[in-house]
Amino acid sequence: MKIVNTLFLLLFVSLSASAAEPEGVPPPPEPYCQWEMVNYAIPEPLCGLQGEAARGEKIVSDAAKGNCLACHELPIQSVEAYGTIAPPLSGIANRLGEAQLRLRVVDSRHLNPNSIMPGFYRDPSLINRPGKSYVGRTFLAAQDVEDVIAYLVTLK
Ligand code: HEC
């Protein structure tokens, strides 16, 4: 009988342990800032934040963040391989202004509903995220998006 009790105790302990938050759970999502599209562009910075190009350059090549290199060529010296299924972004600032770039990074499906490019700041209520801890989250934080924009506008 005693051994059965011990087994039940063990089962209970392991069940309550697995119900606890797994390690590495990201902090709660930041409040989502609404943005406005004007003439197929987003003129105002997300949440009124200011971007920094040096941080943006890291984000575009970080596989856990923007991972833009999976699809786009970017003029980054240390990078040997990049995806070619999307247009190269070298010189992109000669063709697109800051506000136009912002819409493309935030949610390119406003331009092309079939775009395979992730909407990095798409309204989270429109995203079906299977992992519970990701519900309500954008793919990139507003600050990350502004940093990426600050970097893209330097690509002349
Ligand atoms: C899964 C592939 C994929 C990823 C990842 C991706 N993009 Fe794109 N992107 C595309 C495709 C494809 C297009 C072409 C337009 C379209 O089909 O929507 C595009 C278009 C663009 C454009 C407009 C280019 C032009 O010539 O008009 C910009 C700017 C851009 N992406 C920036 C980014 C940035 C910055 C990142 C990372 C934060 C990124 N993309 C990540 C696939 C991707």
Residues 31-69 pLDDT 10s: 999 999 999 999 999 999 999 999 999 999 998 998 999
* pLDDT tier at 12, thresholds 50, 70, 90: very low
User: CB count, 10 Å around CB of 40?
Assistant: 11
Q: Which numeric CATH code is attached to 31-152?
A: 1.10.760.10
In what helix (H) or strand (E) does residue 99 lie, and over which residues does it extend?
Answer: helix 98-107
- State in Å: Cα 88 to ligand 1 middle: 9
Q: Give the residue, out of 103, 104, 155, with the most ligand 1 atoms within 8 A of its beta carbon, to mutate for a pocket test.
A: 104
Ligand 1: atom nearest CA of 108 is 18
Distance of alpha carbon 139 from the chain centroid: 3
What is the residue extent of each domain of the chain? 31-152
Supply the pLDDT for residue 11: 44
Residues 75-102 pLDDT 10s: 998 888 899 999 999 999 999 999 999 9
Residue nearest to atom 18 of ligand 1 (CA): 115
- Please give the structure tokens belonging to residue 144: 């990350």
Q: 76: which residues sit within 8 A by CB, 6+ positions away?
A: 57, 60, 61, 69
Contact at 8 Å (CB) between 127 and 106?
A: no
Would you call 133 helix, strand, or coil by DSSP? helix
Q: Give the residue, out of 55, 117, 152, with the most ligand 1 atoms within 8 A of its beta carbon, to mutate for a pocket test.
A: 117
